Amino acid sequence: MVVEYNDSGELTMGGTSLKTIAQSFGTPTIVYDEVQIRNQMRRFHESFKKSGLNYNVSYASKAFTCLQMVKLVQEENLELDVVSEGELYTALEAGFDPQHIHFHGNNKTKHEIRYALESKVGYIVIDSLEEIDLIDRYASEEVNVVIRLNPGVEAHTHEFIQTGQEDSKFGLSIKHGLAIQGVQKVRTSKHLKLKGVHFHVGSQIEGTEAMIETTKLVVHWLKENNIEVELINLGGGFSIKYVEGDVSFPIEEGIEEITTAVRSIVEEVNYPIPEIGIEPGRSIVGEAGITLYEVGTIKEIPNVNKYVSIDGGMSDHIRTSLYDAQYEALLVNRNDPKDETVTIAGKLCESGDVIIKDAKLPSTVKRGDYLAVLSTGAYHYSMASNYNQMQKPSVFFLKDGKAREVIKRQSLRQLIINDTK
User: Do residues 242 and 166 both lie within one domain?
Assistant: yes
* Position 346 in a domain: yes
Q: Please tell me the predicted confidence (pLDDT) of residue 165.
A: 59
* Position 421 in a domain: no
User: Do residues 254 and 379 both lie within one domain?
Assistant: no
Q: Please tell me the predicted confidence (pLDDT) of residue 160.
A: 39
Contact by Cβ (8 Å): 164, 145: no
Residue type, 199: F
Is residue 349 annotated as a catalytic residue, yes or no? yes
* Position 41 in a domain: yes
User: Do residues 362 and 239 both lie within one domain?
Assistant: no
**Which of these three, 282, 300, 334, is where a domain ends?**
282
Please state the residue numbers annotated as binding site. Answer: 237, 279-282, 319, 323, 350, 379
**Band (252; pLDDT cuts 50, 70, 90):** very high
CATH number at residue 267: 3.20.20.10
Domain range for 335: 3-33+286-416
Considering 349, 400, 417, 421, which one is annotated as catalytic?
A: 349
The pLDDT tens digits of the residues spanning 150-202 come to 998 765 544 433 444 577 888 999 999 999 999 999 999 999 999 999 999 98
CATH number at residue 305: 2.40.37.10
Q: How many domains does the chain divide into?
A: 2
Q: Please tell me the predicted confidence (pLDDT) of residue 153.
A: 76
User: Do residues 307 and 397 both lie within one domain?
Assistant: yes
pTM, rounded to two decimals: 0.94
User: Do residues 228 and 350 both lie within one domain?
Assistant: no
**pLDDT at residue 333 greater than cutoff 60:** yes
Q: Please tell me the predicted confidence (pLDDT) of residue 358.
A: 95
The Cα–Cα gap between 237 and 211 comes to 10
Please state the residue numbers annotated as binding site for pyridoxal 5'-phosphate. Answer: 237, 279-282, 379
The pLDDT tens digits of the residues spanning 136-159 come to 999 999 999 999 999 987 655 444
**Which of these three, 282, 317, 342, is where a domain ends?**
282
